[in-house]
Amino acid sequence: MSTQERAALVLAVDGGGSKTDVVLLDTGGDVLAWERGAGSSPQIDGLERSVHVIDDLVDRALGRRDPRDLASVGLYLSGLDLAEEIATFRAAIAPLSWAEGAIVENDLHALLRAGTDAEDAIAVICGTGMNAIGVRSDGATVRFPALGPLSGDWGGGAELGDAVVWHAARAEDGRGPETALVALLLQATGAPTVASLIEDVHLGRRTDHGFAALAPVLFEAATAGDDVARGVVRRQAEEVVAFVRACATRLDLRDVEVPVLFGGGVARGRDPFLLESIRAGLEEHVPETRLQIVDAPPVLGAALLVLGAAGADPTALDRARAELSSDTRLTRMPVATS
């Protein structure tokens, strides 16, 4: 049997800062395996660790199936923001049996495809970090380096969590205004004081890998009316609007009705004050845009992209969308923990 006749499978990978999803489908759109494991962002976890996590999940998903049956493979990863980073990652996976001809791109492409089929669109992701992409019907694309403060970035769960600690520290020692963030932070971490928490982190007595998990604390305080917390959330909203405005301006789409896909853990939290602030900013600066929260796992977008690359028909795409529109299918499958 020829390779072309055998090719009946596609492999989709979505890797972020906190988790990685690997889905194996047939070209009819049926999900054959779905594995979830640790984060695999090369920017956060390093290249070697990222490749290891993905390779292990792919092996689990394939089981005893022959990698030569893969018609299309696509990896969409957080932290692949520069062309050089993409090329480096592609070279790192080249020796792996399942990676021949694999598409390697930033995870924003998966988020965009999961949320819309529109040819003119903007996507903003707000998970552990923050980034955005804009696309236009003629193929023009706007991207950002997303290298943190070095490239002018702020936002995402990591920065929001850091802001909780920063403001709580200043409130406790008198440098800043009082805020409910102090009590909420101590409750969330079990520390007796903010000062002791900071000392334990500094001296390596706590195993925390950053404070991204504290983002919900910020939104809780903001919802309760805490002025300090609301100021941070407003800044987060301004960053989202800034990304959208930049994309729309650079693509000459400010006068075109454009969907804005907002995804990632912070977005799916649907904090009312955050969304209200974002919508107000969009109405002021880019009034033709329409904000949409993407609840579907981003791996849905990765799956639709690889199915499209394999020539799957619309019925197959619809079937995949139905099966991957939520994590329900995943709960019925074994989940990788390594």
pLDDT tens-digit profile, the chain (338 residues) = 344 444 489 999 999 888 999 999 999 999 999 999 999 999 888 999 999 999 999 999 999 999 999 999 999 999 898 999 999 999 999 999 999 999 999 999 999 999 999 999 999 999 878 899 999 999 999 999 988 888 998 988 889 999 999 999 999 999 999 999 999 999 999 999 999 999 999 999 987 667 888 999 999 999 999 999 999 999 999 999 999 999 999 999 999 999 999 998 889 999 999 999 999 999 999 999 999 999 999 899 999 999 999 999 999 999 999 999 987 767 555 545 44
Query: Are 105 and 111 in contact, with CB atoms under 8 Å apart?
Result: no
For strands 121-126 and 289-293, give the pairing.
unpaired
Report the distance separating Cα 84 and Cα 146, nearest Å: 14
Distance CA 292, CA 37 (A): 27
Q: d(Cα 335, Cα 33) in Å, to the nearest integer?
A: 10
**Cα(104)–Cα(72) distance, rounded to whole angstroms?**
11
State both tokens at 185. 């932070």
Per DSSP bridges, beta strands 130-135 and 121-126 are antiparallel
Alpha-carbon dihedral sign for residues 148, 149, 153, 154? positive
User: What's 3-107+298-332's CATH class?
Assistant: alpha beta
Please determine whether the domains at 3-107+298-332 and 118-295 fall in the same fold group of CATH: yes
Residue 193 one-letter amino acid = T
Structural domain boundaries in the chain:
3-107+298-332, 118-295
Q: How many residues does the chain have?
A: 338
Check whether domain 118-295 has CATH 3.30.420.40, yes or no: yes
Distance CA(250)–CA(271), nearest Å, equals 29
**Spatial CA neighbour of 77 closest among 98, 35, 46, 101:** 46
Query: Residue 126 is inside which H or E element, if any?
Result: strand 121-126
Please give the model's pTM, rounded to 2 decimal places: 0.85
Q: Which residues pair with 141 in a beta bridge?
A: 135
Using only the alpha carbons of the chain, give its radius of gyration: 21
**Cα–Cα–Cα angle for 66, 70, 71, rounded to 5 degrees:** 150
